[in-house]
Amino acid sequence: MSSVDIAELAVLAVFVLVLSGVPISFSLIVTSFVGMYLITDKLDVAFNLLNAVAYSGIRDYVFAVIPLFVLMGAFMTNSRAAESLFTAVHYLLKKVRSGLAIATVGANAIFAAVTGVSVASAAVFSNVAYPQMQRYGYSKRMSLGVVAGSSILGMLIPPSLLMILYGILTQVSIGKMFIAGLVPGLVLALMFSAYLYVSSYFRPDMYGIDTPNPNRFVLKAQKKAAARELKHPEDFDSDEFPDLGRPSGKISLPGMVTQTIAIQTVQMSFGRAMLGAVPIVALVALVIGGIWGGVFSPTEASAVGAVGALIIAPLMGMDWKKFIKAFQQTAVAVGGILLLLIAASFFSRMLATSGFINQVSEFIQGLDIGPMALVILFILILIVMGTILDSSSILLLAIPLMFPSILALGIDPIWFGIVFIIAVEIGLLTPPFGMVPFAMNATLGKRASVEDIFAGSFPFVLVMVAFLVLLMFFPGIATWLPELLR
Amino acid sequence: MLSMVDKVVAKVSGVFAALGAAMIGLLALTMVADVVGRQFGSPVTGIVELAAQTVVISAFLTIPYVMRRGGHIRATVLVNRTPPIVRKTLEVVAYLIGAVIFALLAFSAWDAFVEDFVKASYEGEGALRIPTWPARLTIFLASVLMIFESLLATAKTFVEVKK
């Protein structure tokens, strides 16, 4: 058996193990160890490499960006940040047709700038925005789709875990990836909003417009009741967010809490509605602006972000219990991602030693299909992978195999990074197994079936495909800003 | 017996994770101190190497806790559609693989620890030299803890199936 054959078997073994529910990091480490032993026929080599990747594989200043941004996101997720943003954006859009749905997209776009994980955004906004849209008579599928679709902005708008991993694997500057994500993130958010606005004229019933709303009477009565209580609005405590570390089936949102937000939004003064969003927007400006202006490196920006979030989160309802919870969530996310990173670098070194990676890129270049056709082929593969795996695993598995060909064909690595992320995120919304609807289902429990969420997100998937096509014809959307920095 | 061992291991994993998370928090504060201090001409010495070592140590301190919380990233969509007995069997396979790979890692990390400790190896240069043995030792201890966590998870699955 040649070493390339061994590597091929190892790739196959990883897929079998992963689909059998073995943790992805475990699958990669065990196959890499066995593969390395079989290729070199020396047990020592396998041991040495395992020891080397566990220590040197992550012993790097740049990698500190991962735990620090995770910590920042955890502080913000355990405060009322998402609610404050939603309230503020909704206030601005309250006269706009389908304003509540557009507010969800807008609040998600800003929240994306304090967290780097789509699944976290989906879970938080399931609790914050979904009940609101239901109350205003938006159709169930519509409301679920908006939350699922706009949550993908979390990965596209910096800081983004996927961009960090992409930068680490490809040696593309993480700071440049962050800057490159800004315009595509905003354009996609605008495209989502445009879709919502236009389609509300074709299907007003889905947006609670011009239809008898069974909730309307109830709402009026509640408004009056709440208006009396509003003299002490600060007494309304936010509801606890679900544990993001592991999906649970518990439903954790008593109606009362969100109703008060809804009514506050209607009755609040402009200043009061904006007040909650100001510290978050300031933090975002500090972190992104700092990277943009070259004041600090992405790693330093993540530290500034974490400390900044630690200062503003207690002002927005993070008490001691949630503070501890933020650290617990950080521990779970950091250990999981860094072990995955160790495992993936073990695996790609094994594949490189075997000559498999060379063989794959020779094969791909031998296809002679031109750069655009190749990118489209990659996109299709990524979407299929996205329906089974989570986004960071896909990136760690696919990039070592795809990236050499991208470089060889002279495709802009920053542009490909953005295309890559969108393709993976499309997969996360695609049946049968896309992860975002499952995460939302875990948060919302019986109130929303996975099928409804998939159906509701379908229009957003189409918008994202349209956006990919747009990126093909106008690569400048992704490359223009980072080129300005050069 | 099993539940007693389980409690002790859970406690140790929890303490490890708390230390790891606290290190991340401290790193954030130190780095901000560096950014601010730089403006006044007094940066924190050796921050780059300090951050690098923190990543390794905090990663391994949290890995056993992630295992306990069932947080190691896995694809469950297919497995969840199989009958319980198949699912439980596959779970046991996953745990045993975990026990084996962390035994391999513990074995190789111990040698590296002894070597670095005896030679007093360090990373970084100039004013701040950071010894490498603490990180090596953390990898070893966390791997041993992972063996315990994996075997306990296996044992607990067997007890569940028996019931």
Helix or strand run (H / E) with residue A75: helix A65-77
Say whether pLDDT at A246 is over 70. no
> Which residues, 6+ apart, have CB-to-CB distance to A306 below 8 Å?
A68, A69, A71, A72, A75, B25, B28
Say yes or no: B51 contacts chain A, CB-CB below 8 A: yes
Mean pLDDT across the stretch B41-64?
91
Each residue of A132-163: b (16+ CB within 10 Å) or e?
bbbbbbbbbbbbbbbbbbbbbbbbbbbbbbbb
List the 81-120 stretch of B: residues with Cβ below 8 A of A.
87, 90-91, 93-94, 97-98, 100-101, 104-105, 107-109, 111-112
Say yes or no: B34 contacts chain A, CB-CB below 8 A: yes
Tokens of A10: 């190892």
Alpha helices per DSSP H over A293-319:
298-312
Compute how many other C-beta atoms are within 10 angstroms of the C-beta atom of residue A30.
22
The pLDDT score that the predictor gives to residue A420 is: 94
The pLDDT score that the predictor gives to residue A269 is: 76
Mean pLDDT across the stretch A124-137?
85
Say yes or no: A61 contacts chain B, CB-CB below 8 A: yes
The pLDDT score that the predictor gives to residue A257 is: 41
Q: Rounded to a whole number, what is the distance in Å from the CA of B1 to chain A's nearest CA?
A: 27
Say whether pLDDT at A243 is over 70. no
Helix, coil or strand: residue A239: coil
Partners of A55 on chain B (C-beta within 8 Å) are: 56, 109, 112, 135-136, 139
Q: Rounded to a whole number, what is the distance in Å from the CA of B20 to chain A's nearest CA?
A: 7
> C-alpha A103: how far from its chain's center?
18
Query: Is the Cβ pair B77, A55 closer than 8 Å?
Result: no
What are the backbone angles phi and psi of residue B123, rounded to the nearest 5°? -120, 160
Q: Rounded to a whole number, what is the distance in Å from the CA of B28 to chain A's nearest CA?
A: 4
Say whether pLDDT at A245 is over 70. no
Partners of B90 on chain A (C-beta within 8 Å) are: 20-22
Q: Which of A356, A329, A420, A267 is nearest to A3 (CA)?
A: A356
The answer to whether the beta carbons of residues B28 and A71 sit under 8 Å apart is yes
Helix, coil or strand: residue B123: strand
Tokens of A237: 């405590």
Helix or strand run (H / E) with residue A373: helix A371-386
What are the backbone angles phi and psi of residue B130, rounded to the nearest 5°? -105, 120
Say whether pLDDT at A237 is over 50. no
- Say how far apart CA B150 and CA B64 lie, in whole Å: 9
User: Could you tell me the pLDDT band of residue A249, with boundaries at 50, 70 and 90?
Assistant: very low
Say whether pLDDT at B59 is over 90. yes
> Which residues, 6+ apart, have CB-to-CB distance to A12 below 8 Å?
none
Partners of A37 on chain B (C-beta within 8 Å) are: none
The pLDDT score that the predictor gives to residue B105 is: 96
Interface test mutation site (partner B, options A60, A334, A397, max chain B beta carbons within 10 A):
A334
In this prediction the ipTM stands at: 0.95
User: Could you tell me the pLDDT band of residue A225, with boundaries at 50, 70 and 90?
Assistant: low
User: Any idea how long chain A is?
Assistant: 486
Q: Which of A77-81, A427-431, B78-82 has the highest mean pLDDT?
A: A77-81
State the average pLDDT for chain A.
Answer: 83
Compute how many other C-beta atoms are within 10 angstroms of the C-beta atom of residue A2.
10
Say whether pLDDT at A220 is over 60. no
Residue among B27, B55, B72 whose CB faces A23 most closely: B72
Partners of B56 on chain A (C-beta within 8 Å) are: 55, 58-59
The pLDDT score that the predictor gives to residue B79 is: 83
Partners of A18 on chain B (C-beta within 8 Å) are: 74-75
The pLDDT score that the predictor gives to residue B40 is: 87
What are the backbone angles phi and psi of residue A296, rounded to the nearest 5°? -140, 160
The pLDDT score that the predictor gives to residue A363 is: 87
- Give the global pTM: 0.85
Helix, coil or strand: residue B131: strand
The pLDDT score that the predictor gives to residue A26 is: 95
Say yes or no: B75 contacts chain A, CB-CB below 8 A: yes
Query: Is the Cβ pair B62, A327 closer than 8 Å?
Result: no
Helix, coil or strand: residue B142: helix
User: Could you tell me the pLDDT band of residue B44, with boundaries at 50, 70 and 90?
Assistant: confident
- Say how far apart CA A140 and CA A27 lie, in whole Å: 39
Q: What percent of chain A clears pLDDT 70, i.e. is strictly above it?
A: 87
The pLDDT score that the predictor gives to residue A226 is: 55
Query: Is the Cβ pair A67, B101 closer than 8 Å?
Result: no
What is the DSSP secondary structure assignment for residue A388, as one 8-state letter? Answer: T
CA angle (A13 as vertex; A7, A15 as ends), nearest 5? 110
Predicted confidence (pLDDT) per residue in A144-161, tens digit: 999 999 988 888 998 888
Minimal-distance CA residue of chain A relative to B60? A335
Mean pLDDT across the stretch A75-81?
90
Residue among B73, B78, B98 whose CB faces A390 most closely: B73
Q: Which of A111, A88, A86 is nearest to A101 (CA)?
A: A86
Q: Which of A55-59, A304-308, B1-5 has the highest mean pLDDT?
A: A304-308
Quote the crossing angle between the two packed helices A413-428 and A476-485, to the nearest 10°. 130
Tokens of A326: 């933020």
> C-alpha A289: how far from its chain's center?
21
Helix, coil or strand: residue A483: helix
Query: Is the Cβ pair B24, A55 closer than 8 Å?
Result: no
- Which range has the worst mean pLDDT, A97-101, A217-221, A264-268, A282-286? A217-221
CA angle (B7 as vertex; B6, B12 as ends), nearest 5? 95
Question: Which amino acid, residue A58?
Answer: I
- Say how far apart CA A74 and CA A123 lie, in whole Å: 13
The pLDDT score that the predictor gives to residue A295 is: 86
Say yes or no: B72 contacts chain A, CB-CB below 8 A: yes
Say whether pLDDT at A52 is over 50. yes
- Which range has the worst mean pLDDT, A443-447, A469-473, B6-10? A443-447
Compute how many other C-beta atoms are within 10 angstroms of the C-beta atom of residue A205.
14
The answer to whether the beta carbons of residues A290 and A301 sit under 8 Å apart is yes
Quote the crossing angle between the two packed helices B84-119 and B133-162, to the nearest 10°. 160
Compute how many other C-beta atoms are within 10 angstroms of the C-beta atom of residue A360.
20
List the 438-467 stretch of A: residues with Cβ below 8 A of B.
438
Q: Which of A120-124, A192-196, A480-484 has the highest mean pLDDT?
A: A192-196
Predicted confidence (pLDDT) per residue in B98-118, tens digit: 999 999 999 999 999 999 888
- Say how far apart CA B138 and CA B140 lie, in whole Å: 5
The pLDDT score that the predictor gives to residue A331 is: 93
Query: Is the Cβ pair A21, B74 closer than 8 Å?
Result: yes
Say yes or no: A432 contacts chain B, CB-CB below 8 A: yes
Partners of A306 on chain B (C-beta within 8 Å) are: 25, 28
Q: What is the number of helices (H) and of strands (E) in chain A?
A: 25, 0
Q: Rounded to a whole number, what is the distance in Å from the CA of B149 to chain A's nearest CA?
A: 14
User: Could you tell me the pLDDT band of residue B5, with boundaries at 50, 70 and 90?
Assistant: very high
- Which range has the worst mean pLDDT, A99-113, A280-294, B122-136? B122-136
The pLDDT score that the predictor gives to residue B45 is: 82
Minimal-distance CA residue of chain B relative to A311? B29
Q: Which of A218-232, B63-77, B103-117 has the highest mean pLDDT?
A: B103-117
Partners of B78 on chain A (C-beta within 8 Å) are: 19-21, 388, 433
Say whether pLDDT at B68 is over 70. yes
The answer to whether the beta carbons of residues A138 and A208 sit under 8 Å apart is yes
Residue among B72, B77, B112 whose CB faces A51 most closely: B112
The pLDDT score that the predictor gives to residue A256 is: 36
- Say how far apart CA A323 and CA A333 lie, in whole Å: 16
Predicted confidence (pLDDT) per residue in A184-203, tens digit: 999 999 999 999 999 888 88
> Which residues, 6+ apart, have CB-to-CB distance to A255 below 8 Å?
A131
Q: Which of A115, A114, A120, A91 is nearest to A103 (CA)?
A: A91
Quote the crossing angle between the two packed helices A161-170 and A391-408, to the nearest 10°. 40
Compute how many other C-beta atoms are within 10 angstroms of the C-beta atom of residue B156.
15
